[in-house]
Structure 1
Amino acid sequence: MKPDGSQIILATALLAADLGTSQSCPDYSSHSKARHEPFSPGKHALSYARPIPACRTFNSSTIESLVANMSDVIADPDLHRLFENTYPNTLDTAIRWRGFAANNPEEELTFVITGDIDAMWLRDSANQMQSYLPVLEPDDGVDSIASLYRGVINLQARYLLTAPYCNSFQPPVESGIPPADNPGANKDTVVPGYDPAKVFECKYELDSLAAFLRVSVDYYEATHDAAFFGRFQWVSAVQAVLATARAMMRPTYGEDGAVLDSPYTFERQTTRATETLANDGLGSPVARDTGLIRSAFRPSDDSTIFQFLIPANMMFAQSLAEAVFIVQELGEGAPQGLADEMRTLSRQLREAITRFGIVPVVSGNGTAVETVYAYEVDGYGGAVLMDDANVPSLLAAPFMGYLAATDPVYQRTRARILSAKANPYFMTGPQINAVGGPHAGPGMAWPMASIVRILTSDDDEEIVGVLREILSTTDGLGLIHESVNSFDASRWTRQWFSWANGLFGQMILDLRFRKPHILQQSFQ
């Protein structure tokens, strides 16, 4: 799935030339695997992982000032180096192209790659932008964080109108960047079909639809720029999102027991069960009249076991409710009844999650029955009791705004998620203890889940312990890996994973205001 890095080399080399420097820019896929001086002066001696300014894909004076100012906030030299490397990582390396739509010179477009994969995921790009929400301000300039947001929203709207069941997309034709090859998807059988010149991969994931709503809400709440959403294709994209979500509420069987046609099926020739769907691409059966929305794949891009993925339904319900305010602000610029439709669907989803997503389990000491959130359900009574590292997750429910961290059902669920006895994908070991998942497999803990654990905790001891593990498991590279072996921190996957890097920086900024005393501690 990982395309050749030559396209990234070309882009960064052209950027360097545009900025008047003759110094060639390295392929960051290779650059980020090696250690570079100056090393941080702490015991971990972390590499300086940022490209030189001329080779960064977007330069922001606001971000540079923030990073520099955090040296007074973060006392530990290794922790500051990790923040310094990770928080700007998307801007440094992943803004693959910026420009304007061919048919509208005012419509900004931003093509954001996820890191070492040269394609734009709806989910990843929305989360990569969310990292910069703390510095997002109203700004009409084309060299602002706000401009990047507008470009991402506009391009995501185009993608959703092109292929609403797909999760990952090729560069826009205006960029002149050739489509990336995806050998793993070349022989996929997908209904509905798609154009591989426009789509990199077509795994239907409910959280991809929610991500478009989320990045839109983030921009609106920070800028109050409601007029932007009425200027281009945003309203049409929201309608496409709603139509897709409602289509994926269709059950497996009709009232007479006949198998219903599914609006989406997916089959892949693969040796990994998580890369395709059972039952000739239909997936496992789901019951009628649940009110939940199906998701064929998880945010890890792994297939679901039961298609009612509860964290994705949570994220969709919450993001949909908040996007209502944008539609209301558009007034007559939005179709009549759209806001009411969104509000009603959000409320119905919450009711369905409470009815079907909360399930009984035997308590940890085996003495009583308690209720917790299931990760996936089928509406027949089947439930998958686990959590996966990627967001949306059950662990991240408060981070997504769906509920309060003090919610008793969440607290019981959280206790099970963070227990190797209750969650089959909670990895434990001497190096790092965190949720993982089938994507990287048993034994591989995801620092992303550790970051979410901090974001959803008010326990200083827990936060410090988890932060210490993250800091000590970068293998000296000073970047957040996708996953790390819980017994051997030199074994990891994906050193260049911009979303995880940005999320780490986002978490540090959260601690800056929520628990600044922790950032004044030494981790030596």
Structure 2
Amino acid sequence: MIRLSTQLLVVLAHVYTASSQSCPDYSTYSKTRHEPFSSGRYALSSARPPPECRTFNSSALESLLQSASDTIADPDLLRLFQNTYPNTLDTAIKWHGFAANNSEEELTFIITGDINAMWLRDSANQLQSYLPLLEPSPDFISLASLFRGAINLQSRYILTSPFCNSFQPPPESGLGPSPNPASDSDIVFPPYSPDQVFECKYELDSLASFLQLSTEYHEATHDSSFFSKFSWLEAVKTILATAKAMTAPTYSPITNRPLSSPYTFTRKTTRSTETLPNDGLGHPVSPTTGLIRSAFRPSDDSTTYQFLIPSNMLFCRYLASASLIASAINQSSLASEMMDFSNSLRQAIQTHGVVSIPSGDNGTTEKVYAYEIDGFGSSLLQDDANLPSLLSAPVMGYLGAADPIYTATRNRVLSTKNPYYAHGELLKGVGSAHTGPGKVWPMSLIVQIMTSEDDDEIRGALKEILQSTDGLGLIHESVDGWDGSKWTREWFGWVNGLFGGMVLDLGRRKPEVLKESFQ
């Protein structure tokens, strides 16, 4: 096999950036309709950019898209799948190259879509959609290289600013940093450089997503040696130190005096969810839980009570699986530390994150997972559409969908007992404080499908998703439950990939549903 030189590969990595002036701006492109339209009732637009403007090409992906008509009968569902599943590869691989100080270290800079920055959580989930196509390969032009590059770049980000969630392009890319006007007034401890960091909201799920991405690459490729070559081990040690530091309570358990916090954040804003109370400390938390604090949710909104249960679930789940990587590269002491911490978190979640609530008028109660708690007895009984969520607990592999506490939680989440559940005439589903009451996030409908074995429930959610795109053929961030023409974010790579992955999951679990018409 001919091996291309590093210099040539870097040139190839810049092809899209160099030619982008002749390609349409995808934020504009994705807000307009393009022929040919699907032949179904929704006449969905063709939303893929021209082949020469796609940011990464995969023959395996193209083969899958071409064969999709063999398994998907409905023309609108077929078009929506063919638009959404490739969206990250088509539009969001902003740069793929090598580290300046190591010609063997691959780097991948992945934007969220309409925001020109790399979120740890979003980029990990965007690649997760392509796990069915991931195969071991040393080649730079392979999906495996994209995964390795993202893990390497995320390692760099974590070592640079472990409390931050969103980052600027690496200097090697030649892409300059993007301004974030919302951060101009931020007062953050520890401080960060805006040339390296786009935003510094500490979210536990961001660190967990790095562990998830690492685990999924390892399980798909069995490529253990990769994790001992660059900065992965140091990043994991930094994650452990950061997470353990954030188990610190507000008050000393010995003197009851307030303690200094490893992280604080304040911002001048008119939105309460964009800053933390108590001069950036957040609301007080108890010293007795053993849980990890999270200042912000996966939605980038501030937590009410900082023990965010879904994020602790995700961290617990993937800290355990990532410990197997540490074992595989002969880091037995680190592996034991990771597994012990994961086990203690699981015990803490089950002890403190489960609450008893009234289940009827006869005085009976049922146990459900709280969304957030403070350890003092306060709990927030809701869910948010962003992942990790309580609804997604089986998807993240924390527990099984038949778990009785999860089942009771799911029933509550998917009802008007959840303050962010919108029961609209057009769409019914979970929303988020990020976009306000009445807005359904199709992401929640996708997760509802992925956690259901009920064919009628799955059909109903699929129909609602199909009528939620305003004819544009892409999944939006949120949609008004009563008016499908009111939506947010025309270009949101994560949810598009999640929809495509859900369709592939249905192809394995419920192939007969994909043979149906939703007209």
Structure 1 length as normaliser, TM-score? 0.95
Task: Write the distance in 1 (CA, Å) between the matches of 2:362 and 2:181.
Answer: 48
- Which of residues 91, 94, 99 in structure 2 aligns to 1:93? 91
Aligned equivalents of 2:55, 2:18: Cα separation in 1 = 12
* Structure-1 separation of matches of 2:195 and 2:14: 25
Deviation at 1:430, TM superposition (A): 1.1
Deviations 1:177-227 (A, max 9, x none): 110000000110000000110000000000000000000000000000000
Task: Quote the offset at 1:367 in angstroms.
Answer: 4.0
* Candidates 200, 204, 207, aligned match of 2:205: 207
Q: 1:197 to 1:207 in 2, by over 3 A?
A: same
Deviation of the 1:366 alpha carbon: 5.8
What does 1:476-515 align with in structure 2 at a 5 Å threshold? 476-515=471-510
Q: Is residue 2:372 matched to residue 1:371?
A: no
Kindly provide the CA deviation profile for residues 76-97 of structure 1, in whole angstroms up to 9, marking residues without a partner as x. Answer: 0000000000000000000000
Q: Deviations over 1:226-279 (max 9, x none)?
A: 000000000000000000000000000002111000000000000000000010
C-alpha distance in structure 2 between counterparts of 1:15 and 1:236, whole Å:
32
What one-letter code is carried by the residue in structure 1 that aligns with 2:195? A
Following the alignment from structure 2 to structure 1, what is the Cα–Cα distance between the partners of residues 323 and 17? 42
Deviations 1:77-126 (A, max 9, x none): 00000000000000000000010000100000000000000000000000
Alpha carbons of structure 1 residues 104 and 491: separation in structure 2 relative to 1, 3 Å: same
1:12 and 1:118 mapped to 2: Cα distance? 17
Q: For 2:22, what is the secondary structure of its paired residue?
A: coil
Alignment of 1:111-510 (within 5 A): 111-254=109-252, 255-331=254-330, 334=331, 337-364=333-360, 367-420=363-416, 422-510=417-505
Partner AA of 1:289 in structure 2: T
TM superposition shift of 1:14: 5.0
CA distance, structure 2, for counterparts of residue 12 and residue 404 of structure 1: 41
Distance 2:206 2:97 in 1: 23
Matching residue of 1:15: 16
Q: Match of 2:179, SS?
A: coil
Deviation at 1:369, TM superposition (A): 1.1
The AA in structure 2 aligned to 1:309 is L
Find the residue that maps to 2:367 and give its secondary structure: strand
Q: Distance in 2 between matches of 1:82 and 1:13?
A: 29
Q: 1:17 to 1:102 in 2, by over 3 A?
A: closer
> Once the 2 structures are TM-superposed, how far is the Cα of residue 495 of structure 1 from its aligned partner?
1.2
Q: Distance in 2 between matches of 1:307 and 1:120?
A: 24
1:319-377 CA-to-partner distances (Å, cap 9, x unmatched) read: 0000011001001xx3x510110000000000000010000111155641111000000
Residue 477 to residue 105, structure 1, CA distance change in 2 (3 Å): same
Counterpart Cα distance in 1 of 2:122 and 2:147: 13
Per the alignment, residue 8 of structure 1 pairs with none
Aligned: 1:61 with 2:59: yes
- Aligned-partner Cα distance in 1 for 2:488–2:361: 36
Look up the match of 2:4: none
Per-residue CA shift, 1:141-187, capped at 9, x if unaligned?
Answer: 11111010000000000000000000000000100111000000011
1:46 to 2:44 alignment:
yes
Distance 1:317 1:156 in 2: 19
Q: Output the amino acid matched with 1:132.
A: Y
Distance in 1, matches of 2:14 and 2:134, equals 28
Q: What stretches of structure 2 of length at least 5 have no aligned partner?
A: 1-11
Aligned to 2:408, what secondary structure does the other structure show?
helix
Structure 2 distance, partners of 1:377, 1:211, is 22
The 3-state SS of whatever aligns with 2:148 is helix
> Would the aligned equivalents of 1:387 and 1:395 in 2 still touch at CA under 8 Å?
yes
Number of residues of Structure 1 aligned to a counterpart in Structure 2: 507
The Cα of 1:15 is off from its aligned counterpart by 2.2
Summarize the Cα distance change of 1:12–1:326 in structure 2 as closer, same or farther, 3 Å threshold: closer
Distance in 2 (CA, whole Å) between partners of 1:240 and 1:45 is: 50
> Does the aligned pair in 2 maintain the 1:13–1:55 contact within 8 Å?
no
Cα contact 1:13–1:24 (8 A) shared by 2: no
C-alpha distance in structure 1 between counterparts of 2:380 and 2:408, whole Å:
16
Picking from 104, 115, 121, the partner of 2:102 is 104
Tell me the alpha carbon deviations over residues 467-488 of structure 1, each in whole angstroms, 9 at most, x when there is no partner: 1000111000000000000000
Matched, 1:522 2:517: yes
C-alpha displacement at 1:466, in angstroms?
A: 0.3
Distance 1:100 1:502 in 2: 25
Partner SS state of residue 70, structure 1 = helix
SS at match of 2:283: coil
Task: Give, in whole Å, the separation in 1 of the partners of 2:440 and 2:391.
Answer: 14
Tell me which residue corresponds to 1:6.
none
Shift of 1:12: 11
Show structure 1 runs of 5+ residues with no match. Answer: 1-10
Aligned-partner residue type, residue 196 of structure 2? K
C-alpha contact 1:12 1:56 (8 A) present in aligned 2: no
SS at match of 2:69: coil
Counterpart AA for 1:511 = L
1:17 positional shift: 6.3
Shift of residue 16, structure 1, vs aligned partner: 8.2
1: CA distance between counterparts of 2:346 and 2:21? Answer: 54
Residues 421-445 of structure 1: CA distance to partner in whole angstroms, max 9, x if unpaired?
x100001111110100100001100
1:372-404 deviations in Å (ceiling 9; x for gaps):
000000001100000000000000000000000
- C-alpha distance in 1, partners of 2:32/2:360? 44
CA offset at residue 23 of structure 1? 8.8
> Is the contact made by 2:13 and 2:96 (CA closer than 8 Å) also made in structure 1?
no
**CA offsets, 1:268-297, max 9 Å, x none?**
000000000010100000001211000000
